Amino acid sequence: MLIMKKIKLCFLALCVCSSAYAGSFAEPVSTSEPSPFYWEVAGRYSHSCTDIDANHSSPSIHTWGIDLTGLYQVHGPHYLTLRLGYAQGEVRGFELYQVSLMPGYRYEAPLGESMRFFAGAGIGVGVSILSYPGMHSFSHSISSEDDMANLVYSLEIGLKYEIAPSVDVGAALIFHGGISPFPDAEFEHASEEQSAIGIRFGFSGEF
């Protein structure tokens, strides 16, 4: 009889120990870190804000286009960016096409639970081409007329609002510049440094 009581006590102790340590055999909960890579797709419209000729003979240039941006979160609010941009417009009957590639930097700060403020800058290389029906295209470089590439820069300040998990809608005021070609009064090739101001609106999210 004494042996049976000892067996029961050992069995109860084994049950208590097994229930106490059951949690140690459970599978660990997955806590994956958020991706540091982000994307952004935005449309933009801008117009020249400076006369590029002292006698005001150069026309204002209006362009509209699209920007594709990749972002890498370095630490906290600090991001590195790489933007591919395309824009087109019209200058004195000529069609203007612009393509740019700009690495840059962006700072983002939260404004409440769903909204964020951001500001950034970039500098890179751009190509501007004018074409006219029946005429060949021509381009200009900051260094030589034989080279199509020129220096471009951009500044931005804006707001983002989270509309879904990892998806934001945003708008920004942009200021950008570079070398812009245009036809002069005799429809000869001319170009000068020109700056423009505009707006950008689009969506962004996490890869």
| Single pTM value for the model | 0.73
Question: Hey, which of 30-44, 58-72, 164-178 has the most confident mean pLDDT?
Answer: 164-178
Q: What is residue 48's predicted lDDT score, i.e. its pLDDT?
A: 80
- The answer, yes or no, to whether residue 50 has pLDDT greater than 80, is no
- CA 204, CA 162: separation in Å to the nearest integer? 9
- The answer, yes or no, to whether residue 31 has pLDDT greater than 80, is no
